[in-house]
Amino acid sequence: MNGARSLVETLVAAGVDTCFANPGTSEMHFVAALDQHAGIRCVLGLQENVVTGMADGYYRIAGKPACTLLHCGPGLANGLANLHNARRARSGIVNIVGDQATYHRPHDPPLTADTEGFARGVSGWVRASMRSADVGRDAAAAVQAARSYPGQVATLILPADASWDEGGITAQPLPVPAAQPLDPHAVEQAARVLRAKGGKVLLLLAGAAVQAEGQALAWRIAQATGAQVLADFVNPKVARGRGRLQLERVPYKSELAMKALAGFEHIVLVNAKAPVGFFAYPGLPSIQYPPEAQLHVLSRPEQDALVALRALVEALHAPEAALPDPGPRPQPASGEPTSDKLAQTVAALMPEHAIVSDESVSYGRGFYKSSHVAPPHDWLHLAGGAIGDGLPVATGAAIAAGGQRRVIGLQADGSAMYSLQSLWTQAREKLPVTTILLNNRSYNILVGEYKGVGATPGPTAMRMLDLGDPGLSFVKLAEGMGVEAARATTMEECADLMRSSFGREGPFVIELMV
C-alpha cells in the first residue's frame, strides 16, 4: 500500500473518524485513500480557517481529535488563527498538511513555503514524514500527541511522495497519555488555606473544572468553607443551565475584573491561570487580582481537575450540597433588541442539551446572567481571542454531535466576516445550526477599546471601526451560500424565527439588527 493508504488506516485504527479538509494537488493521494475507506467522514471547508475551526469545535464536543487536511504552507497559514484558538482551548487536532514532494522542494516552486515554521507557533507537536514507510508510524504518534492530556494540536507534514510511494505500513494505536499526577502537597495546601481563610478565598475554575462534576465539587467546597467560585473569562466549554452551578466569569474589562477580585487574599487555581488583562491599557496593571493576594495552584491544565477537586472535597470533609435553584424559566422577551433580552429569549426557547457557540464579542459579555435558567447545555467560548472561530466551531460541534443536538451561534457581525464560508458547509452537511447574527454595523468592541487605551477617535478612526458603509446583508450572504435566512428587528420576530428554526433539519441564520 502507499503512504496515504497507511495514513488513513492508521488514523481509523486510532479512532479518528472525521476529516475536515481543504485539499490541493499534493493531497490527492490522501483523498484517493479516503475513497477506499468508509471509516472516515470527510467534511469540506471553503477556506482553511473554517477547516481548523471546525476541528476545534469537533474536539470540544466529541472529546477526541478529528484530522484536518490542508494544502502546503500557505494553506496551513490560512488556518493558523483558528489553530491558535485551538491551542488556547487545548483542543486535540491531528493537523495534516500535504506539501511539495521531498525531491521537488529544493526547486522552490511558487507555492513552497516554510510549512514547519508556520506550524510551530500553534502546535505542541510537529513532524514531517519523509518516507512512505514512516507515515503510519508518524500518524500514530500524531494521534497520541493530539490526545495528550488535555489535548493539543499535532501537525503532521506529508510530502506528496511520502503519500504516493508504495511501502506504507499501517501502525497500531499508541496508548492515550494520562493526565499528569497532581503536585505533592497541592491539595493539602489548598485545604489549609480554605480552612483558615475560607471567606477570603477564590476558587478559580477552568478546563475540566467548569464541566458539571467539577462545578458540583467546587460548590461543595464553597459551601463548606465560605469560599467563592468564579470561572476564567474564556473557557473552551462550560456546562450551563439547570442542574449546573450559576457560575460567573472574571469580567473582561480590567476595571470590572479588579473590582470582582478585590477582596480576595488567596486564589486557588483549578486548571486556571492567574487573571490578567486581555490587553494592556495605559495606567492599568497587567494583573487583575490584588498584588498582595497569594496564588495556590491546585491543578495545572495538564493535570486532572476532577481528581484534584475530589481530593480537596475529601480533605475538607465537605458535605454534599444542593446547587441553588435558578428560579423559573423566563418567557421570551419583546420589543427592541438588547443584550439581556436576547439572553433571556435564548434561555426561554433553547432546546435541551443545546450547544451555544458564543462569538458575540462585546454584545454578549452579559449573556450568562440571563441565561442560567435554560435547560442543560454546553457553552463554547472564543478561547484564543482570534476572532473568526464562532461559525466554524459551531459547524464542527454540530458534526461531533451527529446532528442530535441543536447548535445556537451567537455571532457578532465583524467576526462573522472572517470565516463566513462556514455557512456553506452547514448547508452542505444539513447541520442543525441556528446562527443569531448580531448586526450592529460596526467593530463595536473597538469603539470601547479605543476609549480604554486613552485615544481620542476622530473621523478616520471612526471610519476604521464602522461596518455600515455599505451595510452588510447577512440574509443575502447566507442565501448566497445556500442557507435560509431572515432578518429580525424586534425580539418577537427573533423569537418566532428561533422557534421555527429549532424545528427544522438544516441550518438557519437570523440576522438580528441591534
Q: Tell which positions 286-305 bind a copy of itself, by CB under 8 A.
A: 286-287
Select from 14, 34, 437, 438 the one that contacts a copy of itself (CB under 8 A).
34
Q: What b/e sequence results for 128-139 when a residue is b if at least 16 CB atoms lie within 10 Å of its CB, and e otherwise?
A: bbeebbbbbbbb
Size, binding site for a copy of itself by CB under 8 A: 98
By CB under 8 A, which span of 177-185, 328-336, 368-376, 416-424 interacts with a copy of itself?
416-424
Three-state SS at 298: strand
* Nearest CB to a copy of itself, comparing residues 241 and 251: 251
In three-state secondary structure terms, 511 is: strand
CA torsion sign for 251, 206, 436, 371 is negative
Shorter beta-carbon distance to a copy of itself: residue 175 or 454 = 454
Read off the C-alpha cell for 395.
459547524
Q: Between residue 50 and residue 79, which ones bind a copy of itself under the rule CB under 8 A?
A: 72-75, 77-78
161 binds a copy of itself (CB under 8 A): yes
Please name which of 414, 401, 472 lies closest in space to residue 444, comparing C-alpha atoms: 414
In whole angstroms, the minimum distance from the beta carbon of 310 to a copy of itself comes to: 29
Identity of the residue, 21 or 438, whose beta carbon is nearer to a copy of itself in the bound complex: 21
Which residues, 438 to 477, sit near a copy of itself by CB under 8 A?
Answer: 446, 449-450, 452-461, 463-464, 467, 469-477
Residue from the set 177, 181, 199, 480 that interacts with a copy of itself by CB under 8 A:
480
* Smallest gap from residue 408 Cβ to a copy of itself (A): 22
130 binds a copy of itself (CB under 8 A): no
C-alpha distances (whole Å) from 151 to each of 88, 306, 370 are 10, 16, 32
In the complex with a copy of itself, the residue whose CB is nearer, 286 or 489, is: 286
Binding a copy of itself by CB under 8 A: which of 6, 10, 26, 91? 26
Out of 3, 9, 18, 29, name the contact with a copy of itself by CB under 8 A: 29
Using alpha carbons only, what angle is made at residue 62 by residues 128 and 220, rounded to the nearest 5 degrees? 120
Among residues 183, 302, 479, 492, the one that binds a copy of itself under rule CB under 8 A: 479
- Whether 250 and 381 have beta carbons less than 8 Å apart is answered as no
| Position 278 contacts a copy of itself (CB under 8 A) | yes
Closest contact distance (angstroms) between CB of 314 and a copy of itself is: 33
Q: Which of residues 338-397 bind a copy of itself (CB under 8 A)?
A: 383-386, 388
- Quote the least distance from Cβ 379 to a copy of itself, whole Å: 17
- Specify the stretch interacting with a copy of itself by CB under 8 A; choose among 84-92, 150-158, 315-323, 488-496: 84-92
Calpha distance 342→344 (Å, rounded): 5
- The grid coordinates of residue 236 equal 473552551
At residue 490, φ and ψ (nearest 5 deg) are: -125, 165
Q: Which of residues 168-227 bind a copy of itself (CB under 8 A)?
A: none
In which residue are the cell numbers 418566532 written? 496
3-state secondary structure at position 4: helix
Q: Is 21 in the site for a copy of itself (CB under 8 A)?
A: yes
How do strand 18-21 and strand 201-205 relate by DSSP bridges?
Answer: unpaired
Three cell numbers written together for 116? 514547519
- Of the pair 79, 241, the CB lying nearest a copy of itself is at 79
Is the separation of the CB atoms in 369 and 348 below 8 Å?
no
Nearer to a copy of itself by Cβ, of 349 and 478: the residue is 478
Q: Of 348 and 382, which has the nearer Cβ to a copy of itself? A: 382
Minimum CB distance to a copy of itself smaller for 316 or for 431:
431
> Could you tell me if 198 and 228 are in contact, meaning their C-beta atoms sit under 8 angstroms apart?
no
Residue 497 and residue 486: Cα distance in Å, rounded? 8
Burial level of 215, CB count in 10 A (0-12/13-18/19+)?
buried
Is there binding between residue 253 and a copy of itself (CB under 8 A)? Answer: no
Site for a copy of itself in 89-128 (CB under 8 A): 100-101, 103-104, 107-111, 113-114, 117-118, 120-122
Among the listed residues 84, 137, 249, 266, the single contact to a copy of itself using CB under 8 A = 84
Of 12, 13, 44, 133, the one binding a copy of itself (CB under 8 A) is 44
Looking at the DSSP bridge assignments, the partners of residue 436 are: 410, 510
DSSP letters for 202-251 = EEEE-GGGGSHHHHHHHHHHHHHH--EEEE-S--S-EEESTTS----BPP
Near a copy of itself in 418-437, by CB under 8 A = 418, 421, 424, 427-428
Q: How far is the CB of 104 from a copy of itself (least distance, A)?
A: 4
Residue 277 near residue 286 (C-beta atoms within 8 A): yes
Question: What is the residue-wise DSSP string for 133-166?
Answer: HHHHHHHHHHHHHHTSTT--EEEEEEEHHHHHSB
Q: What are phi and psi of 40, to 5 degrees?
A: -125, 130
